[in-house]
Amino acid sequence: MSATPPDATTEPLSTESAVRESTGDMHAARRARLMARVGATSAALVVAYPERNRSNDSNHPYRPSSDLWYLTGFEEPEAAMLLLPGHPEHPFVLFLRERNLKMEIWDGPRVGLERAREMVGADKAFTFEQLEEELPKLLAGRASLHYSLGVDAAMDDVVLKSYRKALRTARGRARAPTSIIEPGEALHEMRLIKSPEEIEAMRRCCEVSAAGHVRGMRVTRPGMTEFELQAEIEHVFRKQGARSPGYPSIVGTGTNACVLHYIENRDTLADGDLVLVDAGAEVDYYTGDITRTWPVSGEFNGYQRTIYDLVLRAQMEAISLVKPGLPWHELHECTVQVITEGLCDLGLLEGPVEKAIEDKAFKKFYMHGTGHWLGIDVHDVGAYAREGEKSRPLEAGMCFTIEPGIYFHPEVENCPTDFLGIGVRIEDDILVTEDGCEVLTRGVPKEPEEIMEIVGKDA
Ligand code: GLY
Ligand code: MN
Ligand code: MN
């Protein structure tokens, strides 16, 4: 959500409809839409994430920042895009690295200033180092700047100095930005509704993610390590074109399944235990996000099956509700209702159900939300509620997860002995369609009979 209200001079959103992504350069179409949204008196600055050191002189593999990639397709670090809607000569200014043969021999090719127009569509290019000098001049005449403050302190410093310098230079005689607006309103609302190209990309990354899980189920056997299982799954991701997982894979067996962000993945799968796998493939910048929980031996015991069935019922009921118009929060209300009823029936929560919900007693065993937007980021951008709403109604083109879970962490006070250490989550990726939804991750089984059929088949 923006820190300040949207610019009052923003053009009506209906002007966007003139720009479609179905043909031509999808990044250019997105820039045109964004410019229509921010309006001709504003500017938008989107900056590449800095490279991150991993150890000594080795960096983490560079992953372009999602907003910058969405708008330009440009993949290099040390870059920034400035959009100046309505500018007669250069509405799209790109700051980037110069070409440097020595560095290109070590690290790979760079676009460079001379090729910025041909390769990225920029109307004007400067070096990244010139940003501090050029930004105040380029902002002259603009009333506001759309920029994400608080992400990159070094860049904030450059932007704030430029903002101050532009104001000083204008001295009230000319217009200079008087507000910095969080890009959520303009840019992240665009990312929330997936275009046809993005829907295809979501289908693809979800298919690859599902293929990894299916492989994981098939090779599971007692005595295997969590990291071996992780490797089997990620092998499929990479082989099918994923640049990497979209987030660190969680492979937790036994009580590790109760640690929501468990990523050590170094224990051994034991006969009789469950294993919980939360892993998704990032393919062409879009990521899947799937969780499945299955028995290491292929057979659920009675307690495990009871909890599994309850989580599955909650998940399926929530999925059955999805259609345009459904308020987002009703999905969580649905899973909470089903899970709380089930836990009360089992005597694991004290009733009545309404009171257990009101008191949030269910949080002892179900302590996270039901899902999140999904796209270029695993926890994708976009507001869950807009001004005056409890939560926003679903719209065709939105993608999100539905992922209820129940966890009996052994350290939790009075954890019921029979269920101690059981952790179950079931997560699918959902696309809202005109009349309902498409489960993008349906390629991986979740019915207990199907799971029992497939687990260990290729072990
Ligand atoms: N894998 C991250 C999540 O499910 O939110
Ligand atoms: Mn998720
Ligand atoms: Mn997940």
- Whether residue 126 is predicted with pLDDT greater than 50 in this model: the reply is yes
Please check the confidence at residue 16 and state whether its pLDDT lies above 90: no
- Give residue 262's pLDDT band: very low, low, confident or very high (50, 70, 90): very high
282 Cβ inside 6 Å of ligand 1: no
Of ligand 1's atoms, which has the minimum distance to the CA of residue 427? 4
403 CB less than 6 Å from ligand 1? yes
User: What value does the mean pLDDT take over residues 58-78?
Assistant: 96
Query: Quick check: 390 pLDDT over 70?
Result: yes
Q: How far apart are CA 319 and CA 305, in angstroms?
A: 21
Cα separation of the two ends of the chain: 48
Indicate the pairing of strand 179-181 with strand 144-146. parallel
Considering all CA atoms of the chain, what is the largest pairwise distance in Å, rounded to the nearest integer? Answer: 77
Element (H, E) at 158: helix 153-170
Encoded tokens for 135: 């930004």
pLDDT at 201: 98
Give the pLDDT of residue 249. Answer: 98
> What residue ranges define each of the domains in the chain, with the CATH number in brackets?
39-189 (3.40.350.10), 193-454 (3.90.230.10)
Q: What is the pLDDT of residues 355-369, one digit of tens each?
A: 999 999 999 999 999
Contacts with 168 (C-beta within 8 Å, 6 or more apart), sequence order: none
286 pLDDT higher than 80: yes
Q: What is the mean pLDDT of residues 316-329?
A: 98
- Contact partners, residue 429, CB within 8 Å, separation at least 6: 202, 206, 209, 280, 288, 289, 290, 374, 399, 400, 401, 439, 440, 441
> Is the beta carbon of 247 within 6 A of some atom in ligand 1?
yes
Please give all residues whose CB falls under 5 A of ion ligand 3, grouped by chain where several chains appear: 278, 289, 291, 427
Amino acid 176: pLDDT:
85
pLDDT at 30: 97
pLDDT at site 174: 82
Nearest CA owner, ligand 1 atom 3 = 289
Q: What is the pLDDT of residues 182-225, one digit of tens each?
A: 988 899 999 999 999 999 999 999 999 999 999 999 999 999 99
pLDDT at residue 173, as a whole number: 80
pLDDT at 21: 40
For 91-123, the pLDDT digits (tens) are 999 999 999 999 999 999 999 999 999 999 999
